[in-house]
């Protein structure tokens, strides 16, 4: 059985609170906290203590996790060494990588291995890291840019909670058709499945869910506008659907009406701002614009 063990030195700002309170602060789910307590899989300074134990500065907290502590413990992505993916940020718990446009996020069958998760698994193996990739969120195959990948199953539900609480900010750049009527705006129409094509999504479609997209116009060139976009939610095709719904489809988006001939969809995940798990502070991660995403659209 695979196990994971983590050791933390208690910082002054965490001193004086109980082990349980620290776990809650760190967003460790109740189910996992219960497993730690019942199995007595944690120690402070090498000793088994109750969860009510009050921590002191420089105490050493060690936590051990089993596979059955997690809803998804195994990462079964086949390592592929044929492509290297650019890393924008990495620590012991997660990595933020720069996905090229045209690369799939994850495989749809056990034999498929030409996706981002496969290439990351190959990178971890090449570097002899005893970790594995776990998907936290996704961007479309046609979209480029920053994506968060967890390196341990413990971090997945923590990042899920941060996403749900809107504590992780994702900013995109997009070239859209037309001149925007104002400098900024918010699109709040729900998104569901397109009734005519289940590959697509549509505003107020079947099983529609809340979707909120903020946009700011950076500049307009030749009747096309470059927008900075921030998401409050993460629905499938959200940016593409929302912008098309207001008459400004993304350039190069044949699926949603952006039929200008371009080599790719003009949508790029530019920046991710996230609180790093376990008191790591807030990190803003920005990658360079890819060569196939023009600064000026002609």
Instruction: Supply φ then ψ for residue 193, to 5 degrees.
Output: -75, 135
Q: Where are the alpha helices (DSSP H) in the chain?
A: 19-25, 30-39, 116-126, 155-164, 238-245
pLDDT of res. 298: 54
Known catalytic residue: 69? no
Residue identified by tokens 């961007």 is 139
**Cα 281 from chain centroid?**
17
Beta carbons of 116 and 84 less than 8 angstroms apart: no
E strands along 10-143, which residues? Answer: 42-44, 60-66, 86-90, 94-99, 134-135
Give the chain's length.
Answer: 298
DSSP code, position 213: E
Q: Are strands 144-150 and 267-275 parallel, antiparallel or unpaired?
A: parallel
Q: Which of 140, 160, 232, 279 is catalytic?
A: 140
pLDDT of res. 149: 98
φ/ψ bin of 243: left (φ > 0), alpha (ψ from -120 to 50), beta (otherwise):
alpha
* Dist. CA 87–CA 141, nearest whole Å: 18
- The three-point CA angle 241-242-244 to 5° equals 65
**Cα 144 from chain centroid?**
13
Q: Which of 105, 133, 150, 121 is nearest to 269 (CA)?
A: 105
Q: DSSP 3-state assignment of 123?
A: helix
Tens-digit pLDDT profile for the chain (298 aa)?
A: 789 999 999 999 999 999 999 999 999 999 999 999 999 999 999 999 999 999 999 999 999 999 999 988 888 899 999 999 999 999 999 999 999 999 999 998 888 999 999 999 999 999 999 999 999 999 999 999 999 999 999 999 999 999 999 999 999 999 999 999 999 999 999 999 999 888 899 999 999 999 999 999 999 988 899 999 999 888 999 999 999 999 999 999 988 986 667 889 999 999 999 999 999 899 999 999 999 998 776 5
pLDDT of res. 111: 86
Burial of 148 (0-12, 13-18, 19+ CB in 10 A): buried
Residues near 74 by Cβ (< 8 Å), separated by ≥ 6? 2, 67
């Amino acid at each position: 059985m695979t196990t994971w063990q983590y050791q933390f030195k208690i910082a002054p700002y965490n001193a004086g609170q109980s082990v349980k309170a620290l776990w809650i602060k760190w967003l460790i789910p109740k189910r996992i906290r219960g497993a730690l307590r019942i199995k007595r899989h944690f120690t402070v300074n090498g000793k088994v203590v109750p969860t009510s134990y009050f921590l002191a500065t420089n105490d050493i907290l060690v936590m051990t996790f089993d596979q059955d502590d997690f809803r998804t413990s195994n990462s079964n992505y086949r390592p592929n060494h044929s492509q290297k993916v650019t890393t924008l940020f990495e620590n012991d718990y997660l990595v933020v990588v720069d996905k090229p446009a045209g690369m799939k996020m994850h495989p749809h069958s056990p034999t498929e291995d030409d996706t981002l998760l496969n290439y990351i698994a190959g990178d971890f193996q090449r570097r002899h890291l005893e970790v594995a990739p776990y998907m936290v969120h996704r961007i479309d195959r046609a979209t480029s840019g920053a994506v968060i990948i967890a390196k341990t199953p413990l971090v997945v539900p923590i990042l899920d909670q941060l996403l749900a609480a809107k504590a992780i900010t994702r900013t995109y750049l997009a070239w859209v058709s037309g001149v925007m009527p104002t400098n900024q705006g918010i699109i709040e129409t729900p998104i569901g499945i397109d009734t005519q094509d289940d590959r697509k999504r549509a505003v107020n479609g079947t099983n529609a869910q809340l979707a909120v997209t903020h946009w700011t116009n950076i500049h307009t060139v030749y009747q096309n506008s470059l927008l900075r976009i921030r998401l409050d939610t993460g629905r499938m095709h959200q940016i593409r659907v929302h912008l098309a719904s207001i008459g400004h489809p993304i350039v190069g988006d044949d699926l949603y009406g952006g039929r200008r001939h371009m080599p790719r969809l003009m949508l790029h995940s530019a920046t991710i701002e996230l609180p790093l798990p376990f008191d790591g502070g807030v990190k803003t991660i920005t990658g360079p614009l890819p060569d196939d995403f023009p600064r000026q659209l002609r």
